Amino acid sequence: IDGVTVTVVDSKGGTHTADTNGNGQASFNNLPNGSRVITIPATVDGYETLTGNANKDTTVVIEGNVEKTSKFELVPEKTADLIITVKDEKTNDPVPGAKVKISKPEGAGEPEVKETGNDGRIVMKGLRKGKYTTTVVSVPEGYNVTTDEEVVVDIDPANAPEAQVDYKVGQV
């Protein structure tokens, strides 16, 4: 993976960083003799470490004056899909054209407003772990809905490949 920042702390406490190249390699020259601690981040642009806890950086300690190559393996980060359905509360028919605001976990970007298709659904694919908040903000003419009802969905790809939110709306 290109562009991953690798950090080495040398035996004297000096910090050295280098980004990986197109072959996924980072090189450090002229490090002082002694132990070294090598760290890569827990997640990198859609990948997570295979060898460590996905919520913590992966660290390798090299003792002594050994010249060493350390190999870290990254795998694609697990993601999940969020399926939002808006249906008529009496007929259970899908409601196309309903607009739903989806707020992403903190730091993951701005909220998005999506519109249900003919099947009354919105499918958001490839979501990372975190809490997402959904709110119906508008429905087509002839329907009414409580537009401030928020549903918080805890997406956890490790435990479930998809999460479902169902809204029922009434006819005017």
30 residue type, one letter: N
127 exposed, middle or buried (CB, 10 Å; 0-12, 13-18, 19+)? Answer: buried
pLDDT score recorded for residue 119: 96
Say what the pTM is.
0.62
Helix (H) or strand (E) holding 142: none
Tell me what pLDDT residue 67 has: 61
CA 113/CA 21 separation, integer angstroms: 38
**Of 10-24, 27-41, 49-63, 81-95, where does mean pLDDT reach its minimum?**
49-63
- Give dist(CA 111, CA 105) in Å, integer: 9
Quote the mean pLDDT of the chain.
80
| pLDDT value at residue 65 | 59
Q: Is a pLDDT exceeding 80 seen at residue 38?
A: no
Question: Is residue 166 a contact partner of residue 145, using CB atoms and an 8 Å limit?
Answer: no
**Total residues found in the chain within this entry:** 172
Alpha carbon distance 66, 81 (integer Å): 46
Query: What is residue 77's predicted lDDT score, i.e. its pLDDT?
Result: 73
For residue 90, give the amino acid letter: K
Using the predicted structure, report yes or no on whether residue 68 has a pLDDT greater than 70: no
Per-residue pLDDT at 127: 87
How do residues 92-149 score in pLDDT, each as one tens digit? 889 999 999 999 887 777 899 999 999 999 999 988 888 999 999 988 988 877 556 8
- pLDDT greater than 90 at residue 52: no
Does residue 172 surpass a pLDDT of 60? yes
